[in-house]
Amino acid sequence: AAPSRVFATDHLAAGHPPAEGFLDQAAGILAIPISRSPRDYILFFRGETIRTVTWAGDPNGKEAVMGTHGPRLSPRKSFAAWTETVRGRSNPWSEADCRAAEALRVSVLEVLLRFSEETDRQRLRASQRQELLIAELNHRVRNILGLMRALVAQSRPSATSVDDFAKIIGGRIQALSRAHDQITSDTFSATSLRQIIETEVLAYIGVKASRVTLVGPDIFVEAKAFSTLALVFHEMVTNSAKYGALSDRHGAVSVGWRVDDGGACRIAWAEAGGPGVVHPTRRGFGSTIIERSIPHDLGGTADIRYLPAGVEADFALPPGVFHLVPQENASMPLAPIPTHLPPSSRSPACFAGLHGLIVEDNMIIALDAEQLMIESGMVEVHMAASVSEARKIIAAERVDVALLDVNLGSETSFALIAPLNEKGVPFVFVTGYGEGVVLPEEAGNAVALKKPFASDRLIEALGAALARGRPAIV
């Protein structure tokens, strides 16, 4: 039969001799092709049916002789009914069976064709989505790189030393990182204005956070405004902690917001009780961020006043960048920043005489962590970019504490947990996956710091791990 046609036989063994061994199950076959390549069939089998066939005489033992009318079988008297027992065959497949099989073949091919077309459409849509995501990712990466370049360039004039410059630029990058964490933690949904301000206050001033009061309804800011607001309030908190109300033991800050009749969100920042305010003689990049970011990026307004009693600032967000969730106004001081780290008897800046291990596949990040650990007193820091390299170091060198990047390209650092535990070496994880990383059970109470990590946060985590002998989750 043609490869694309239904094939039927009641004597499978005639074309496939091994079928003689399973006649009770498959003496006959009906094969329905449902694809071209690779060859796929729907197969129906029939077992052997022993039956009798009656012939007009026994065909055996007869000879053909020439007669008056040509060749004929002889003898003629032996054409009495003769019965034969037929074995090795199934019941024959009828024309109705073959028509039904052909109809089934057409139906299955139609279903498969539709499925293939839908699969092709889904594959095309997935490819288009992937191309769109890649284009959007490239766009965002270029924007981030441009933003980083601008932050570096614009932060330089206000720095008094290299260390001061590093601190300024590091703080601004951390503010952007915290804003990004808030976006990704809620799968790009809106986040409350209170949370954005709290994050900056808690991250920068810690225990002084109780001197900051937030008053306002439950307003949720759209993701597109996160970075802008994070930078603005980072600069406000930084300035207050350096020069304003939060720079001494007595000052306080009140931040209130409301929605006005025009639908805009009005945010008021007021400082009181701190040292006397002196109007700045020059404008730094931080002041530019405060005064121009919201108007330029969000289409809102910003006004800052340097009053003798304390700095005041008013900001307005247009309706398109936030939405209001009806709720009673809340007024409460912020609690001190929670560390989630166990108490450490070791000073974070005192790792004198210790040997560290950094397992990180990015050299720049590894060098940054190495510098922090050396500056904190360690005499030697080993670096490895893979699990195999790290295993050799753990086996051959002294290691007092380890810093492990979770993802090392095609492998993870989880494979190092066992050898480190065997030698009693505490360890701290770092990850770019934020809250999405799940540490294995054998990691115990291991720390998982999110990238980019602050210098003091890393040293604090390492100190806590050393104090306990085992890490604790952040």
pLDDT number for residue 130? 80
Q: What is the mean pLDDT of the chain?
A: 80
Q: What is the rounded CA–CA span in Å between residue 221 and residue 191?
A: 5
Q: What is the mean pLDDT of residues 165-176?
A: 76
Task: Examine the pLDDT at 273 and tell me if it is beyond 80.
Answer: yes
Average pLDDT value for residue range 248-257: 90
* Structural element, H or E, at residue 82: strand 82-86
**pLDDT per residue as tens digits for the range 360-391:** 988 878 888 898 899 889 999 999 989 999 99
Q: What is the pLDDT of residue 186?
A: 46
CA atoms within 13 A on the CB side of 90: 25
**At 219, is the secondary structure helix, strand, or coil?**
strand
The reply to whether the predicted model has a pTM over 0.75 is no
> Which has more pLDDT, 43 or 203?
43
Q: How far is CA 119 from the centre of its chain?
A: 25
The residue-averaged pLDDT of 407-435 equals 87
For 386, residues 6+ apart whose C-beta sits below 8 A from its C-beta are 359, 361, 408, 409, 411
Burial class (CB in 10 A: 0-12, 13-18, 19+), 399: buried
Per-residue pLDDT, 188: 47
Residue 51 in this model has a pLDDT that exceeds 90: no
Does residue 418 surpass a pLDDT of 50?
yes
Q: How far apart are CA 396 and CA 423, in angstroms?
A: 12
Q: What pLDDT does residue 178 have? A: 63
Query: Is the predicted pLDDT of residue 332 greater than 50, yes or no?
Result: no
Per-residue pLDDT at 253: 93
Residues 72-120 pLDDT 10s: 666 555 555 666 677 888 889 999 999 999 999 889 888 888 888 888 8
Task: Please indicate whether residue 304 or residue 204 has the higher confidence score (pLDDT).
Answer: 304
Q: Which domains does the chain have, with CATH numbers?
A: 1-59+75-147 (3.30.450), 156-333 (3.30.565.10), 355-468 (3.40.50.2300)
Average pLDDT for residues 404-421, to the nearest whole number?
A: 90
Cβ atoms of 377 and 347 closer than 8 Å: no
Assign 179 a pLDDT band (cuts: 50, 70, 90).
low
Among residues 279, 215, 213, 210, which one has the least CA distance to residue 249?
210
CA–CA separation, 111 and 134 (whole Å): 34
Long-range contacts, stretch 167-174, CB < 8 angstroms, 24+ apart? 170/454, 170/455, 171/204, 171/234, 171/238, 172/231, 172/234, 173/148, 173/452, 174/203, 174/452, 174/454
Q: For the stretch 348-366, what's the b/e string if a residue is b when 16 or more beta carbons lie within 10 angstroms of its beta carbon?
A: beebeebbbbbbbbeeebb
Per-residue pLDDT, 344: 45
- Of 464, 409, 165, nearest in space to 285 by CA: 165
